[in-house]
Amino acid sequence: MAEKSSQPRRNLANEILARLRADIISGIFKPGEALGEPVLARRFGVSRGPVREAMIELERAGLVQFEPTGRTRVRTMEEKDIAEVIEARVALEAMGARLAAIRWSGEHSRWMEENLAAQERAVGVTEFRKLDAAMHEHIMQCGGNQRLEALWQTIRWQFEMALASVDRLQGRQATDLHRFAIEGHRKVLEALAAREPGAAAGLMAWHITSTLEWTVPGIADNLHQLPAFSGVPGLGDWRTSGALSSGAEANEKQTALKKHHRTRRA
């Protein structure tokens, strides 16, 4: 009798899912582009079954949409979609940071420091965004609430897609956005390491919301009133707060960003 192979059985649908997801997030497949099952099956050298399974998972993740005609297209992230995704992140990740601060340890801080150092060295958008998402996932895991983390995972790929799209639109300014994000990450780490749940929640909300303002200037006018911000004494409206920069510097950044977006839309 032949011995059973010790090699795990390949899951073609999962392999195709991972490759398609990476191609969508990276922009190889453009927003609105049609994804035909026969074409993709030929591309991957498989039958249409695994491709169909991958498409179903991509639709559940919010990366593609099925049309009444039967076509599948890459989802286009409008300003409203981006705003809703980041509002959901504020709600989930502020609580995640609050819980993580209660359970935080020196080992968690060391992991974060290594990740932040890698973010500083990152070359290119793809590498930076992988490290960014891994850091946020780490904090959610440290919170110890599996249900909260599962809810976060349901929108993870949507915000990765949105942020990658923003990086491409920002062009050269994406480097500034990355530096700004790293500053926010360090402030969150300070609050976590100090084991201050309210400050960690508020600074996480600040960090995520400031990303939204880089993305869609003016759309976050009222988000600073959310309960997540109440844990940071004196934080107030994050756009004029000194949490990461002086009020004058923040206002200068906002003026430049709004001008940049108006130019792109013209």
* Predicted confidence band of residue 86 (pLDDT cuts 50, 70, 90): confident
176 falls in which pLDDT band (50, 70, 90)?
confident
pLDDT in tens, 110-163: 999 999 999 999 887 778 888 999 999 999 999 999 999 999 999 999 988 887
Residue type at position 124: G
Confidence of residue 8 (pLDDT cuts 50, 70, 90): very low
Whether the per-residue pLDDT at 261 is higher than 60: the answer is no
Look at residue 254 in the predicted model and tell me its pLDDT: 43
pLDDT at 222: 54
Helix (H) / strand (E) element for 64: namely: strand 64-66
pLDDT of residue 236: 44
CA distances (Å), origin 50, targets 15, 19, 38, 115, 128: 9, 12, 11, 34, 30
Partnered with residue 72 across adjacent β-strands are: 66
Q: Which helix or strand (DSSP H or E) is residue 198 part of? A: helix 197-215
Residue type, 253: K
Measure the CA angle with vertex 213, ends 208 and 219; round to 5°: 110
- At 77 the pLDDT is 84
Contact 181, 132 (CB under 8 A): yes
Integer Cα distance of 202 and 17 in angstroms: 35
Digit-coded pLDDT (tens) for 224-243: 555 555 544 444 443 344 44
Q: Whole-angstrom Cα distance, residue 97 to residue 187?
A: 12
Do 164 and 26 form a contact (C-beta atoms < 8 A)? yes
pLDDT at 265 over 70: no
In this prediction, residue 187 has a pLDDT band, given cuts at 50, 70 and 90, of: very high
- CA 196 from chain center: how many Å? 24
